[in-house]
């Protein structure tokens, strides 16, 4: 099971310790939690263990190259984790190949740490819907992958159940009326959906959660709607 990190997490994969330390200092000062690797093999292990928010990836690495790591991330893991390539490969061909592999940005050495920070923030803003995940006491949801897990075990949810759970986890402790839930989940061009439909979906979602945990995550607030109990 992946270890959950607190706050914004970045995996910096760089075999030059001076560059790695410099990047870490800037990231830490901006409130990021930094994980480090100096080779491609360790990078893959740390990605699977921690599932960071973004990957800053050198290309010329021992063990496995950055290109191999990026290809593995996109094709084998089928992950949309944002990737910024940080490399001395400055040719147009190298840049094009990097973007074809699935990089979200490409920074050439030597680089400005301040500019790298700006690029990280910009990539995270662009990819927020791809890389976000929410976790509460054993329950984790990854909207980009359409995946929800309880204590590491995959929950088999329908599309509507998944949307419901994601909505609740985005608003912990907040009472959501049936109307608010309808507006948030159903598109305007869908066929008419009643509040009773919402109740049925929530009942089914509760039953699936109860199969995995005794905790009552989704609570009924009589006369008002439902709320997600995070604690």
Supply the pTM of this predicted model. Answer: 0.61
* Residue range 171-180, pLDDT digits in tens: 888 999 998 8
Question: Is the CATH number of domain 9-130 3.10.450.50?
Answer: no
For residue 1, what pLDDT is reported? 40
Mean pLDDT of 189-210: 80
Residues of the chain with pLDDT > 90, as a percent, come to: 52
For residue 3, what pLDDT is reported? 44
User: SS3 of 136, please?
Assistant: strand
* Residue range 109-130, pLDDT digits in tens: 999 999 999 999 998 888 765 6
- Sort strands 147-150 and 153-154 into parallel, antiparallel or unpaired: antiparallel
Ranges of H-type helices in 81-191: 92-101, 113-126, 128-131, 159-170, 178-185
Backbone dihedral angles phi then psi of residue 53, each to the nearest 5 degrees: -70, -35
For residue 49, what pLDDT is reported? 85
For residue 183, what pLDDT is reported? 82
* Confidence check: pLDDT of 4 > 50: no
Asked whether the domain spanning 134-228 has the same topology as the one spanning 9-130, the reply is no
Record: fold of 134-228: Arc Repressor Mutant, subunit A (1.10.10)
The H-or-E segment that residue 22 falls in is helix 17-29
Distance CA 177, CA 195 (A): 10
Distance CA 170, CA 135 (A): 10
The answer to whether 57 and 39 are in contact (CB under 8 A) is no
Ranges of H-type helices in 144-219: 159-170, 178-185, 195-210
- Domain-wise residue ranges, the chain: 9-130, 134-228
Q: Which residues contact 204 (CB under 8 A, 6 or more apart)?
A: 158, 161
For residue 187, what pLDDT is reported? 53
* Confidence check: pLDDT of 131 > 90: no
105-108, strands of its sheet edge to edge? 33-37, 9-13, 54-57, 83-87, 105-108
Backbone dihedral angles phi then psi of residue 11, each to the nearest 5 degrees: -100, 120
* Residue range 81-109, pLDDT digits in tens: 899 999 999 889 999 999 999 999 999 99
Number of Cβ atoms within 10 Å of the Cβ of 147? 14
For residue 124, what pLDDT is reported? 85
For residue 191, what pLDDT is reported? 46
For residue 132, what pLDDT is reported? 59
């Amino acid at each position: 099971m992946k270890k959950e990190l607190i706050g914004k997490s970045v995996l910096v994969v760089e075999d030059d310790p001076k560059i790695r330390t410099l990047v870490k200092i800037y990231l830490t000062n901006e409130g990021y939690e930094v994980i480090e690797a100096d080779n491609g093999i360790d990078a893959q292990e740390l990605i699977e263990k921690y599932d960071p928010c973004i990957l800053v990836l050198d290309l010329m690495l021992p063990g496995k190259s950055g290109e191999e790591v990026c290809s593995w991330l996109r094709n084998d893991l089928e992950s949309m984790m944002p990737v910024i390539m940080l490399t001395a490969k400055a040719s147009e061909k190298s840049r094009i190949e990097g973007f074809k592999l699935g990089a979200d940005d490409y920074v050439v050495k030597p680089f400005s740490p301040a500019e790298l920070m700006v690029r990280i923030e910009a990539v995270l803003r662009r990819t927020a819907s791809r890389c976000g995940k929410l976790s509460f006491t054993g329950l984790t949801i990854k909207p980009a992958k359409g995946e929800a897990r309880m204590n590491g075990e995959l929950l088999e949810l329908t599309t509507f159940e998944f949307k419901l759970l994601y909505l609740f986890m985005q608003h912990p402790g907040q009472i959501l009326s049936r109307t608010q839930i309808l507006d948030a989940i159903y598109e305007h061009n869908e066929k008419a959906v009643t509040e009773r439909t919402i109740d049925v979906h929530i009942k089914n979602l509760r039953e699936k959660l109860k199969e995995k945990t005794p905790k009552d995550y989704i609570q009924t607030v009589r006369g008002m709607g439902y709320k997600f109990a995070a604690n």
